[in-house]
Structure formats: structure tokens, C-alpha cells
Amino acid sequence: MKRFHVHLKVEDLDRSIGFYTRLFAAEPARIEGDYAKWMLTDPPVNFAISTRGAGSGLDHFGIQTDNADDLAELKSRAEAADLPLADDGLTTCCYARSEKHWITDPQGIAWEHFHTLDSIPVFREDAAPASVCCAPKAPAGKPVGIPVQAASSCC
């Protein structure tokens, strides 16, 4: 199964958790000091919010897969889209260990394709600053698919 993924940057995590909990009629599957995630089944959506970065609004879209074969299929499709693909391979981000890659649509919106392998107790295992998204940096130094002035967080 594949699950649609949406990640929003929010200003007030507690207020947003309350709002989305009521909107979805479901409690978050995970809450951290800077992050919350709902794993909805109807419709199947991995919906995440965080306070990382500046500003608020859409951070990125994505598709989460249940297995490596589906992730490979998504990677093949992304490569066929003839846009730059940033392959993170095995990485950690958003309190999870995952295999992932990123592509940016023609409007500059980042799309993350990922297969979650495990949960971890920290946002990220490396020493990246808290304001940096998991999205890889484009050659110009900005996160792939995320405008310079936009917020930056992760899955």
C-alpha cells in the first residue's frame, strides 16, 4: 500500500494538534516537542506538522510506501519525470529511519518518496541544525523544491 504524505510547518504546535485531532477525529500517532503525525486510514494519509524552520504553510508532499519494491517503482517514475532527483538512500529524519529520495515539481514543490524502516527517539541522528529540513540542498544552496523564503521542516 502507498500512503499520501503532507507535511505542514505550523507556528503553534499545541493549537494545531488540537485542531487536526478534531478535524480528523483521531489522535496523533506520534507527538514530540516539535512534531506531530497522524497515520490516517480513511483516506490513507501520513499527515505531519512541525515547528521547524521559519514561517508556516506547506513544507512538502510525499508518498510513503510499505515496501522497498513500491519505493523502487516510485523512484523509476520520478526519474522518468526528467527532473533532478536527490537520492538520500538510508537516512534518518522526523523521528524515523527511512530510505528516501526527493524530486521537485516544475512549480518548485518538493515531493518526498520514502519507505519507513524504524522509529528513532530523535528528530535526526546527525548534527543538522534544527531549522534544516531533511530535504537535500539544491546546487544553489536551498532545499530542493522549497522556495528560499518558505519554511523548511521534514516528513
Residue 25 identity: A
Residue 87's pLDDT band (boundaries 50, 70, 90)?
very high
* 36 in Cβ contact with 27 (< 8 Å): no
For residues 68-81, average pLDDT: 93
- Residue 130 scores a pLDDT above 60: no
Task: Give me the phi and psi of 69, to 5 degrees please.
Answer: -65, -45
Among 92, 91, 93, 84, residue whose Cα is nearest residue 144: 84
Residue 83's pLDDT band (boundaries 50, 70, 90)?
confident
Residue 41 identity: T
pLDDT in tens, 10-42: 999 999 999 999 999 999 999 999 999 999 999
What does the pLDDT read at residue 61?
A: 95
For residues 124-129, average pLDDT: 66
Residue 133's pLDDT band (boundaries 50, 70, 90)?
low
Q: What is the fold of 2-119?
A: 2,3-Dihydroxybiphenyl 1,2-Dioxygenase; domain 1 (3.10.180)
What does the pLDDT read at residue 107?
A: 85
- Residue 138 scores a pLDDT above 60: no
What does the pLDDT read at residue 155?
A: 61
Q: Which sequence spans correspond to the domains of the chain?
A: 2-119
Mean residue pLDDT of the chain comes to: 84
